[in-house]
Amino acid sequence: MTLVTLKDVLQPALRDGYAVAGLVTLGWEDMRAFVAAAEAEGVPVILQAGPSCREHTPLPVLGKMFRHLAEAASVPVVAHLDHGYTAEECRLAIDSGFTSVMFDGSRKPLAENIDETAAIVEMAHRAGVSCEGEIGFVGYSGGESSAGTDPAEAAQFARGTGVDAMAISVGNVHLQQDKEGGLDEARIHAIAAQTNVPLVIHGGSGVPVAQRTALARGTSICKFNIGTELRMVFGQALRDAVNADPDRFDRVQILKETHNPVMEATRGVLRAFKGA
């Protein structure tokens, strides 16, 4: 069994100058392809259950799916709750076998975010589980705007919460479908200079690949969340499979054809985060 915590995979990444991909899952087909890609590349992987995934499949079921894949995997696998908004949601994830939870209090005032995140960290650590927090709101493409992370507040947040990883807002945006943007490297270095916590980039699909690699190797960013670009690959593969034979109706046969395209695209994502 290679089920591990977030801390287990991020501390070596911080030490050795690489990053680990937090891959946003929506169902069995993509999470299975993600693990296959990680095995092919020989790297750890973080399987993430975000809000839209949880709307479709209950957390106890997702926990069993993640753990089942981890038990058979040849690489370390983290079962991670992405964007938990309440203590109860984080507690349910821990009870469901997740090895890592992310509490998102980034919309709250700083003091409130610190207090609530610290309580989740204590609960998680008591259960042997890692906890990621967020300081500085990361916005959404076509939706809410970001509020960049203040380096001094990031240092205060890290000290006051004891998080194992800290998500920051440095020009990254959720749900971005192109890589035309880029991250504010000056702000990243300013944050890193005041903290020693592994840093996390949400909305990694919008970050140019060359910048992903440079930041993974040269900064304390140890985790990039990738969702949109792989969902786009899955969607195209599914359309191709359906359109190839309009008379076919067996969804298992159709969904099988998404595996290889998603796995190959994921391998490309994972390669960008490897060390020098």
39: CATH: 3.20.20.70
CA dist., res. 276 & res. 151, Å (int)? 28
User: What share of the chain has pLDDT > 70, as a percent?
Assistant: 92
DSSP 198: P
CA dist., res. 202 & res. 22, Å (int)? 9
Residue 34: is its pLDDT beyond 90? yes
Quick count: other Cβ atoms within 10 Å of Cβ 206? Answer: 22
> Nearest Cα to 205, choosing from 18, 31, 24?
24
CA dist., res. 206 & res. 132, Å (int)? 21
pLDDT one-digit tens code per residue, 106-164: 999 999 999 999 999 999 999 999 999 999 877 666 565 566 889 999 999 999 999 99
Q: How many CA atoms lie within 13 A of 169 on its CB side?
A: 21
Confidence band (pLDDT; 50, 70, 90) for 268? very high
pTM: 0.94
CA dist., res. 172 & res. 48, Å (int)? 18
CA dist., res. 23 & res. 251, Å (int)? 24
Amino acid at 245: D
Residue 182: is its pLDDT beyond 90? no
pLDDT one-digit tens code per residue, 39-49: 999 999 999 99
* Kind plus residue range of the DSSP H or E element containing 20: strand 20-25
In a domain, 255, yes or no: yes
Hey, which residues are catalytic here?
82
What mean pLDDT comes out for the span 189-197?
Answer: 95
Q: Which two tokens stand for residue 183?
A: 């991250």
Domain that holds residue 196: 3-271
36 in Cβ contact with 70 (< 8 Å): no
107 in Cβ contact with 99 (< 8 Å): no
CA dist., res. 225 & res. 110, Å (int)? 23
Confidence band (pLDDT; 50, 70, 90) for 246? confident
129 in Cβ contact with 94 (< 8 Å): yes
Residue 171: is its pLDDT beyond 80? no
In a domain, 276, yes or no: no
In a domain, 103, yes or no: yes
Amino acid at 274: K
In a domain, 10, yes or no: yes
Q: Which two tokens stand for residue 152?
A: 């001094």
Residue 218: is its pLDDT beyond 70? yes
Spell out where 85-218 has E strands: 100-103, 130-135, 165-168, 199-201
pLDDT recorded at residue 11: 98
Instruction: Reduce the DSSP state of residue 69 to 3 states and report it.
Output: helix
If one counts the domains in the chain, the total is: 1
In a domain, 153, yes or no: yes
pLDDT one-digit tens code per residue, 153-162: 999 999 999 9
User: What share of the chain has pLDDT > 90, as a percent?
Assistant: 83
In a domain, 78, yes or no: yes
Confidence band (pLDDT; 50, 70, 90) for 176? low
CA dist., res. 181 & res. 209, Å (int)? 11
Q: Which two tokens stand for residue 265?
A: 């695209």
